[in-house]
Structure 1
Amino acid sequence: MKPTVHRPVIYPKDIMKVTGRSERGSRKMLAAIRTRYNKHGNAFVTVEEFCRYTGIPEDLIIPFLE
């Protein structure tokens, strides 16, 4: 059995699954995370950055990315 590897980036659909927010709310959250971490508007947001921003442990996020 091969080990499960999750992707390093998070997308609005993932945030929708995790938080129950709408797509628009998820996109706004990604924009706020980019602002917090001084990223450009089209830069990827990592799972680690999302977890630090929301305070949700990474091990709880991983199942939503599979």
Structure 2
Amino acid sequence: MSNIKRLVIYRKDIGRITGRSERYGRLLIKKIKVHFDKEEHQFITFKEFSEYSGIEEYIVNKYI
């Protein structure tokens, strides 16, 4: 079970990937939730972030 990675992306992760601030990450997460019709309490997955941003999922996983 030690090989299991987390499934959700956080604003700090988005900042690391994009080189932007955590504040930008927070705004982007809100946009992604609207795009995928998610409620406020729901999480964003790496796959959803990849799909929205156009960055391949394997590249996103390298930064995590």
| TM, length-normalised to structure 2 | 0.90
Within-5 A mapping of 1:22-41: 22-41=21-40
Within-5 A mapping of 1:1-66: 4-65=3-64
Segments of 5+ residues of structure 1 without an aligned counterpart are: none
- Residues 20-54 of structure 1 show CA distances to partners (whole Å, capped at 9, x for unaligned) of 11111100000000000000112100000000000
Whether the 8 Å CA contact 1:6–1:62 is kept in 2: the answer is: no
**1:4 Cα deviation from its structure 2 partner:** 4.1
Q: How many residues align?
A: 64
Amino acid at match of 1:27: R
Give the root-mean-square deviation of aligned CA atoms.
1.5
Q: Which has the higher contact order (CA 8 A, sep 6+)?
A: 1
Show structure 1 runs of 4+ deviating over 3 A: 2-5
Moved more, 49-58 or 3-12: 3-12
Q: Percent identity?
A: 38
